């Protein structure tokens, strides 16, 4: 494991804050900041820190958060306290301010610190990209794509991605945002809805009535008014349960390949939500670590400045596997790492099987029934291809 070398010709930076991982959403809440500790321990066990610039990120300041969020919302977020008696039943208090305090976005101790540390890591990553000190910057503690200007949503309070992209836009004419979390990247799409400087692309499970957040249909592509510069600059790839590596790879490579050709971004921001993996507690897809990682590999091959964000991921051992593999792809050592987990990995028993990629067998026993007919995938490619006719770099 000590043989992992620094990549030649480019720099990877790794941004995290161990204090962020100590926070708790509540015992049974699916979001476990502790998955970041598990991921890091695996990354370090493989010796990957020797191949990167490692930074302990600072917390973002109020002013930095206010680049996107309203001060009303931030002031409230900074002062609300958890209730003395935890209330975890839905709708006992229907008048939630800024959607805070329900079961999805509970109030917990240190909430404001947790949020500002997540945003701090993402912003540090963006700054390293802007100053060209990094070619690939990793912020696994970020990727909280549902947060709105003045509203918490879906386990997300502060939209670190939007804040990081706003920083990129100070130096980069066009930014491509790609979101492979199983949920629709609605907060990022909305924030850049009316600009042609950011193209947002989300791949997600889509079922308007039964799957959060219910937005992101194939023909939701930005403002309908052609005079709005954001028109056609939102791409949505709605998918159904059980999509496989092969299908996802075909869609991803075709769609992202064509977008890069047409839109000509000068930087890429990739949200790597690990809830699109098979066996995720909330997800519905059949992606393996290799298929998820192939999305990172494809972006890396574009040879553009790249930020990798975390995001969802509710089966911690699989989150750690995916983000470790993806860190190795960033470094370019994926072919050199031993798929057998290092003997000295902390929490080694968490992993159940002792390999990085559970090869032949699926990550979790039963693969889901694949409800994505090839014909529908062709329709999606066709729609996006037609949409891109309206996009000019």
- The footprint of Zn ion (CB under 5 A) covers 181, 183, 273, 275, 312
Contact 32, 21 (CB under 8 A): no
Binding-site partner at residue 202 among ligand ZL4, Ca ion, Zn ion, none, CB < 5 to 8 Å by type: Ca ion
Q: Binding to Ca ion by residue 202, rule CB under 5 A? A: yes
**Cα separations in angstroms, 259 against 104, 195, 321:** 34, 16, 29
Q: What string marks each residue from 4 to 43 as x (binds ligand ZL4 by CB under 6 A) or -?
A: ----------------------x-xxx-------------
Query: Which one of Ca ion, Zn ion, ligand ZL4, none is in contact with 321 (Cβ closer than 5 to 8 A by kind)?
Result: none
Residues in the chain: 393
DSSP tag of 21: G
Report the Cα 212 to chain-centroid distance in Å.
16
Are 230 and 238 a contacting pair, CB within 8 Å?
Answer: no
Distances (CA, A) of 91 to 29, 76, 94, 211, 320: 16, 20, 5, 19, 34
Residue 287 binding ligand ZL4, by CB under 6 A: no
Binding mask 203-232 for ligand ZL4 (x = CB under 6 A): ---------x--------------------
CA distance 231 to 7: 39
- Angle among Cα 9, 132, 4 to the nearest 5 degrees reads 40
Cβ-based neighbours of 27, under 8 Å, separated by 6 or more: none
Distances (CA, A) of 367 to 243, 291, 293: 10, 14, 19
Q: Does 104 bind ligand ZL4 (CB under 6 A)?
A: yes
- Binding test (CB under 6 A) with ligand ZL4, winner from 83, 88, 109, 386: 88
272 binds ligand ZL4 (CB under 6 A): no
Task: Tell me how many residues contact ligand ZL4 (CB under 6 A).
Answer: 22
Shortest separation between residue 182's beta carbon and Zn ion, angstroms: 5
The answer to whether 184 is a known catalytic residue is no
Q: Which positions lie near Ca ion, rule CB under 5 A?
A: 179, 181, 185, 202, 204
Annotated catalytic residues are: 146
Q: Which positions lie near ligand ZL4, rule CB under 6 A?
A: 26, 28-30, 88, 90, 103-104, 144-146, 154-156, 181, 183, 212, 273, 275, 282, 311-312
């Amino acid at each position: 494991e000590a043989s992992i070398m620094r990549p030649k010709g480019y720099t990877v930076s790794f941004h995290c804050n161990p204090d962020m991982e100590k926070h708790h959403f509540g015992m049974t809440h699916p979001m476990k900041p502790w998955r970041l500790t598990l991921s890091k321990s695996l990354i370090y066990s493989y010796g990957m820190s020797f191949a990167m610039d490692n930074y302990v990120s600072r917390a973002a300041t109020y002013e930095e958060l206010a680049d996107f969020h309203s001060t009303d919302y931030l002031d409230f977020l900074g002062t609300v306290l958890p209730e003395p008696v935890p209330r975890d039943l839905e709708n006992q208090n229907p008048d939630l301010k800024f959607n805070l305090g329900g079961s999805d976005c509970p109030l917990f101790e240190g909430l404001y610190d947790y949020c500002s540390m997540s945003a701090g890591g993402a912003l540090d990553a963006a700054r390293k990209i802007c100053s060209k000190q990094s070619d690939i910057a990793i912020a696994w503690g970020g990727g909280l794509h549902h947060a709105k200007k003045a509203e918490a949503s879906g386990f997300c309070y502060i939209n670190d991605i939007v804040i990081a992209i706003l920083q990129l836009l100070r130096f980069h004419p066009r930014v491509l945002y790609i979101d492979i979390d199983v949920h629709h990247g609605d907060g990022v799409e909305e924030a850049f809805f009316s600009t042609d400087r950011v193209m947002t692309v989300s791949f997600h499970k889509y079922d308007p009535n039964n799957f959060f957040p219910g937005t992101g249909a194939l023909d939701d592509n930005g403002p309908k008014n052609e005079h709005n510069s954001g028109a056609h600059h939102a791409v949505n790839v709605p998918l159904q349960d059980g999509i496989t590596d092969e299908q996802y790879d075909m869609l991803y490579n075709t769609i992202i390949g064509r977008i890069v050709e047409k839109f000509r971004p000068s930087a890429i921001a990739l949200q790597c939500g690990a809830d699109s993996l098979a066996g995720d507690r909330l997800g519905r897809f059949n992606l393996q670590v290799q298929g998820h990682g192939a999305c990172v590999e494809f972006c890396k091959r574009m040879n553009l400045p790249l930020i990798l964000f975390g995001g969802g991921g509710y089966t911690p051992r699989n989150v750690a596997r995916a983000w470790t593999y993806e860190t190795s792809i960033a470094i370019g050592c994926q072919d050199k790492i031993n798929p057998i987990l290092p003997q000295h990995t902390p929490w080694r028993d968490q992993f159940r099987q002792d390999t990085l990629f559970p090869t032949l067998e699926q990550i979790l026993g039963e693969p889901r029934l694949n409800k994505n007919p090839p014909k529908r995938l062709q329709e999606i490619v066709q729609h996006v291809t037609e949409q891109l006719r309206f996009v000019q770099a």
